[in-house]
Amino acid sequence: MKRIISILCLALCVSLSGLAQTADPELEHVLDLKVKLGQAFGVGETAQGNRFVIPITGGTFEGPGIKGEVLPGGADYQLQNMDKGRTDLEAIYCIRTDDGVNIHIRNKGIIAGNYFYCSPTFEAPLNSKYAWLNNGIYVCKPAGFMDGGISLRVWKVRDAYNFESTIKPIPPVNTGEISKPAAKQGKIETFTYTAHRGGKTMQKHARVYLPYGYKAKDKKTKYDVLYLMHGGGDKTTSFLTPPNNWFALKDVLDHLIEEGKMRPIIVVTPTFYDDDENIGANRMDDATAMTRNFHTELQNDLIPTVEKAYNTYLEGTDSVSVTKSRNHRAYGGFSMGALSTWYQLAYGINAVKTFIPLSGDIWVYDKDGKKQDARTAAEWINGMIEKSPFAHDFEVYGYTGTKDVAGNPMKGVIEALDKYAPLFRYNTPDANLHYAMRQNGEHFYGHINEYLYLALPQIFKP
């Protein structure tokens, strides 16, 4: 018998040996419950103690990414044992989320003097977006009492937070062959459209990359669209055909499509300035405001006109049509263009599903114009997104470099999103926040277009 126990212990040790040794666990807030209670009634003194029952008649609950109602029909079954000086409780009931998912809860705990703690277990449908509740150890305690009920706060036990160990490195890219023109080349056109800003109407232009084989008359073949916003002081050509022999995105796109690593797409590179002629003529405050507000122009002016002019999935020019085709649209940007990407996510998630911020963090200011810290920015954008019906249907692919001036600020905001913004899931099986850093990566289009070379095949799979 001892030998069997020793073998079992050895097997357990071996199975646990692959797990990382971590610091003491932390608690992560999951939700708060406000449970309404009915009139308690007693069963009487039993062999186990004095049993009485408290009906659960309703209530509400809310937490990051989850809220709804407590369903009536459950109860808290309590057992007083005066010899032990404590009361054992077991509450069994169901909750229903605001999108109609029923979740079963069994909450067991003890009351001993001022000590009142419980450990709930959740049973959520495996095919629901709340299935993550099934896998965890939870701790619960009262957060106060209310008229006819009790407030409860629930935390999940997790490993101590360590963001650094989860950052993925960007593998080196051999730019030699890719920087040469491909055998099958797409073409770049200039697209002119009318934009509206602050009551003013202006003519603007964007560059449009059309993949090899694109035929305007072939209305049956439709293309996804990627919008890319340049950085401060740059132009509509900065991504596709940058100066100084940088690694050009046009070559990247041609090679990826020719080699079958991604499906053919249309790429549009606009400007947040009035037009190219005014680049650099505005103060930083003006440029920042233009960048953060470009989402309005994108959704109201650029998308409806450019996507109706080419063979895309957009069927009409109204906001409903733009929303219906959001799965076929991505938006990204470099530096200040990354700032416009975060604001597009905050204000225009209904128009775009996939976001690609490149070397840029979230700039959020208080009423006095002071830039807020990463946690405040993360909580702000989470609060903006959770208002949308697409709060659980978006993807973010963020990239930067270790020598990039925006590298540490961007890493800080990604860390804050992971830690404080529950709608963003990083380093999980169902992650919607993807982030990587290039060793010695710097703040220029040569490295930025390397990141796109790696990201685009993930987003626009063949």
Q: What is the mean pLDDT of residues 61-74?
A: 92
Residue 23, pLDDT > 80, answer no
What residues are paired with 66 via a beta bridge?
63
Q: What was the pLDDT predicted at 277? A: 66
Max alpha carbon distance in the chain (Å)?
88
Q: Return the SS3 of 242.
A: coil
End-to-end distance of the chain based on CA atoms, in angstroms? 58
Q: Which long-range contacts (CB under 8 A, 24 or more apart) does 121-129 make?
A: 125/101, 128/101, 129/101, 129/392
At residue 294 the predicted structure's pLDDT band, cuts being 50, 70 and 90, is very high
**Dihedral class, residue 44 (left if φ above 0, else alpha if ψ from -120 to 50, else beta):** left
Closest CA to 103 of 75, 81, 86, 126: 126
Residue 374 identity (one-letter amino acid): A
Long-range contacts, 85-88 (Cβ 8 Å, 24+): 85/112, 85/113, 86/110, 86/111, 86/112, 87/111, 87/112, 88/49
pLDDT at res. 6: 56
pLDDT for 24: 80
Mean pLDDT of the 413-432 span: 90
Q: How far is residue 287 from each of residues 16, 203, 277, measured CA to CA in Å?
A: 54, 18, 14
> DSSP character for 182?
P
15 pLDDT higher than 70: no
Q: What does the alpha-carbon distance between residue 339 and residue 357 come to, in Å, rounded to a whole number?
A: 7
Min mean pLDDT across 279-283, 389-393, 458-462 is at 279-283
CA distance 442 to 201: 37
pLDDT in tens, 341-399: 999 999 999 999 999 999 999 999 988 889 999 999 999 999 999 989 999 999 999 99
Q: Which residues pair with 68 in a beta bridge?
A: 61, 97
Its pTM surpasses 0.75: no
Overall size of the chain counted in residues = 462
- φ/ψ of residue 68, rounded to 5: 165, -150
Q: What is the pLDDT of residues 135-165, one digit of tens each?
A: 889 999 999 888 889 999 999 998 777 788 8
Q: What is the pLDDT of residues 153-201, one digit of tens each?
A: 999 998 777 788 889 999 888 888 788 889 999 999 999 999 998 888 9
For each of the domains in the chain, give its residue range(s) and CATH number, in order of start: 24-158 (2.40.160.20), 170-459 (3.40.50.1820)
Say if residue 213's pLDDT is above 60. yes
Highest mean pLDDT among 7-11, 154-158, 258-262: 258-262
pLDDT above 70 covers a percentage of the chain that reads 94
Burial 385-419 (b: 16+ CB within 10 A, else e): beebeeeeebebbbbbbbebebbebbbbbbbbbbb
Say yes or no to pLDDT of 60 above 80: yes
Phi, psi values for residue 283, rounded to 5°? -70, 165
What are the residues whose beta carbons fall under 8 Å from the beta carbon of 163, sequence distance 6 or more?
414, 415, 418, 419
pLDDT above 50: residue 12: no
Counting DSSP H helices and E strands in the chain, the numbers are: 10, 19
Average pLDDT over the chain reads: 91
- What is the average pLDDT across 330-347? 98
Token pair recorded at residue 451: 């990141």
DSSP 132-152: GGGS--EEEEEEEEETTEEEE
**Token pair for residue 397?**
């692919």
Whole-angstrom Cα Rg for the chain: 27
- Does residue 81 contact residue 63 with C-beta atoms inside 8 Å? no
**Rounded mean pLDDT, 410-423:** 93
For the chain, give the percent of residues with pLDDT over 90.
73
Q: Which residue has the tokens 């233009």?
A: 290
Is-contact 118 106, C-beta < 8 A? no
pLDDT interval class at 8 (50, 70, 90): very low
CA distances from 92 to 71, 77, 147 (A): 11, 8, 21
